[in-house]
Amino acid sequence: MSRPDRFERAPDGAASTAWGTLADRVPSDPVEADRFADELLGRLTARERLELLSGDDPLVSGLAEMANHYNRRPIPAGAVPRLGLPGIRFSDGPRGVVMYRSTAFPTPMARAATFDPALEERIGDAIGVEARAQGANLFAGVCINLLRHPAWGRAQETYGEDVHLLGEMGAALTRGAQRHVMACVKHFAANSMENSRFWVDVEVDEADLRDLYLPHFRRVVDEGVAGVMSAYNRVNGTFCGHHHHLLRDVLKGEWGFEGFVMSDFTFGVRGPRAVESGLDLEMPQSMWFRRLPGLVRRGRVAQRTIDEAARRLVRTQVHFASRGEPERYVAGAVAGSEHRALARQAATRSMVLLRNDVVDGGPPALPFAVDEVRRLAVIGKLAARPNLGDRGSSRVHPPEVVTILDGLRALGERLGVEVLHDDGDDPDRAAQLARSCDAVVTVVGTTWRHEGEWVARYGGDRASLRLPDGHEELAAAVGRANRRHAVVLMGGSAFVTDALDDVAPALVMAWYPGMEGGHAVADVLFGEAEPEGRLPLTWPRATTELPPFRRFARRITYGPLLGYRMMEATRQEPAHWFGHGLSFTRFEWTDPRAVAVGPSVDGRRAVTVEVDVTNAGERAGTEVVQGYVAEVLGTHRAPLHTLRGVAVARTIAPGERRTVRVELTVPEGVDQVAVARSAAPTDRRVVRLHDVG
């Protein structure tokens, strides 16, 4: 086990600071709670009402503490001790709770690979418990920006390139977390470039915005999310924290959002008048909003604008303060055995088997057969290091980390397999070890140095989609020395892996798998667990054309084509399609059929499709049935297939035939849908809707 650094635990009694006495005073009936909130608001002085609208930490020392140790404790905003109002107590995410020593789950991109909102909801529940137990009442870690290009440095924090998956996973995380704390969804909107995030102007047609860059936010708003964080970037010339159209017209107007909008930290507000555009809370300190009292006094900002923001903040807090399961908010729950088991389960289920070719005419490279693999070589530094993802605002500090080598050694001991490690610094030496073993695993990929939030010039957007320098050469040297070779990739997004084509019969994407990830990798390599993950983003070939991406762009146009929709429109064949992931067993699909078509609501109909899935192999396995609908979205006038429903059918036994049911929403007038294992056009099985009443 690696202990990454020293970090304190939450102080005793932290849970009681999340809501203080407010939790006991709030009536549980929502109408009464509203009345209680109004009464509280009525008792606030004009000054106090203004103070609700910004973070409470002192400017200089607050920033200094954050630079030194970001979010080591809840970040407070808008507390009014005189009235027993604790205000907002912020914890970041999304990998887990950033404060203190909490469970590090796999990053969201990994979790998206499970395609399973029910699992994500359980992670949300665990995160909510850990946040609350440690004195926070807001989890600001629901990141659902659409991955427009795999080079985005913060790809790992989101759920991939698909609107449906983003919305369902974000809603699930929100649902789970909001049993215990408020959740905040981010970054609203069109935020998917890192190095230029403070200035870039995203030009996007309203139709593309509506159909591609916003629907998942609406899904999470409909789920009842408490807060929305505005993005740093501009959209069509205006900074998102000042975007009247996005914040007032769309979010609060059309979508009826009743919670509060907070700024992204420090540079998310450019002036005090952001409040007029719909920004309710300046985080993490009052830099611009401290000017509001003067502006209100001079009649330049209306008092009712302040009152509206104050009402949103207080009402939301009041409604959430009475929620929860207090008996669970105990220190032992934080990174305790239950949450660690969940982290391990999520990691295991997120592993994507990208390729699994046969070795020398025998069986496929994976899983390793214990009677044949008595000595296993493990190559690469990343195998022996904690590799949890970026080190920006999403960094979680778990009490310990199971590295891949730890995981393989633990399993090796149980199975009687000798595990030998070489850091790969000298490829010839590594190849020699590989040659002396029955099988070899090379672990390569990225770390926080290659991608992530752009902090102190580490991380940021990726300069290349290839593996870091030297990794391809290392894998090639090892693969030439021993044909029974599995390459395990670590990272938050896609890689171009053509250099591994002839040297690695098996390729496994392990993502940033969290504090228990080493066990997950070991279990999949030895077949103790099935590879159940599917790609939440398309993996390009070296030559694949993707949407334009310039790391230091001042201005960029976001269009309707990206990911698998772009592949279909431009007739390209990527290395791996969205939704792809192999199994150790083999499935046959028969008789895909529509069994119910609902009435039209807002121009769409709910359609239920079934398909019979038979496990024709020798091991139990999981099938992820994806439902696609050809739709015109945004400014692209030709219909392209887009995911509108998913069903995960787990542990189908050998010989078992299971009927899998997928629910999709289909636009009025569309008379067929498709079920498929991935977004690849050749995978689709068409289902006509006209036979069903």
Rounded least distance, CB 303 to ligand BGC, Å? 30
Quick one: which of 341, 451, 340, 333 has its CA closest to 398? 340
Rounded least distance, CB 264 to ligand BGC, Å? 5
Quick one: which of 144, 237, 223 has its CA closest to 185? 144
Phi-psi domain of 690 (left: phi exceeds 0; alpha: psi -120 through 50; beta: other): alpha
Q: Which is nearer to ligand BGC, 395 or 580 (CB)?
A: 395
Q: By beta-carbon distance, which residue lies closest to ligand BGC?
A: 393
Which of 574-593 are b and which e, b meaning 16 or more Cβ less than 10 Å from the residue's Cβ? bbbbbbbbbbbbebebeebb
Rounded least distance, CB 92 to ligand BGC, Å? 5
Rounded least distance, CB 140 to ligand BGC, Å? 5
Residues 340-379 that bind ligand BGC (CB under 6 A): none
Q: Which is nearer to ligand BGC, 36 or 265 (CB)?
A: 265
Structure tokens belonging to residue 504: 């690695």
The number of CA neighbours under 13 Å toward the Cβ of 332 is 4
Residues that contact ligand BGC, how many (by CB under 6 A)? 6
- Map residues 76-115 to x or -, x wherever contact with ligand BGC holds by CB under 6 A: ----------------x-----------------------
Alpha carbons 595 and 693: distance in angstroms, whole number: 9
Asked if 265 touches ligand BGC (CB under 6 A), the answer is: yes
Rounded least distance, CB 548 to ligand BGC, Å? 23
Rounded least distance, CB 163 to ligand BGC, Å? 20
Rounded least distance, CB 123 to ligand BGC, Å? 18
Amino acid at 233: N
- Map residues 390-409 to x or -, x wherever contact with ligand BGC holds by CB under 6 A: ---x----------------
Which of 390-411 are b and which e, b meaning 16 or more Cβ less than 10 Å from the residue's Cβ? bbbbbbbbbbbbbbbbbbbbbb
Q: Which is nearer to ligand BGC, 92 or 422 (CB)?
A: 92
Q: Which is nearer to ligand BGC, 208 or 453 (CB)?
A: 453
**Residues in the chain, total:** 693
Whether the ω angle into residue 531 lies within 30 degrees of 0, i.e. cis, is: no
CB-based contact 217:355 (threshold 8 Å): no
Binding residue for ligand BGC (CB under 6 A) from 120, 125, 208, 264? 264
* Sequence-separated (6 or more) residues with CB below 8 Å from residue 89: 17, 18, 74, 75, 76, 135, 136, 137, 138
With tokens 């629907």, the residue in question is 215
Binding residue for ligand BGC (CB under 6 A) from 149, 186, 605, 677? 186
Rounded least distance, CB 110 to ligand BGC, Å? 18
Question: Is 264 labeled as catalytic in the residue annotation?
Answer: yes
Q: Which is nearer to ligand BGC, 393 or 585 (CB)?
A: 393
Binding residue for ligand BGC (CB under 6 A) from 14, 26, 140, 343? 140
Quick one: which of 507, 505, 473 has its CA closest to 490? 507
Structure tokens belonging to residue 117: 């909102």
Rg, the chain, Cα only: 25
Asked if 217 touches ligand BGC (CB under 6 A), the answer is: no
DSSP 8-state symbol, 678: S
Quick one: which of 585, 577, 557, 578 has its CA closest to 650? 585
CB-based contact 102:397 (threshold 8 Å): yes
Q: Which is nearer to ligand BGC, 132 or 186 (CB)?
A: 186
Rounded least distance, CB 183 to ligand BGC, Å? 12
Which of 264, 406, 422, 523 is an active site residue? 264
Q: Which is nearer to ligand BGC, 92 or 162 (CB)?
A: 92
Asked if 56 touches ligand BGC (CB under 6 A), the answer is: no
Q: Which is nearer to ligand BGC, 186 or 312 (CB)?
A: 186
Quick one: which of 139, 140, 144, 163 has its CA closest to 155? 144
Q: Which is nearer to ligand BGC, 348 or 393 (CB)?
A: 393
Task: Give the footprint of ligand BGC on this chain (CB under 6 A).
Answer: 92, 140, 186, 264-265, 393
Catalytic residues: 264
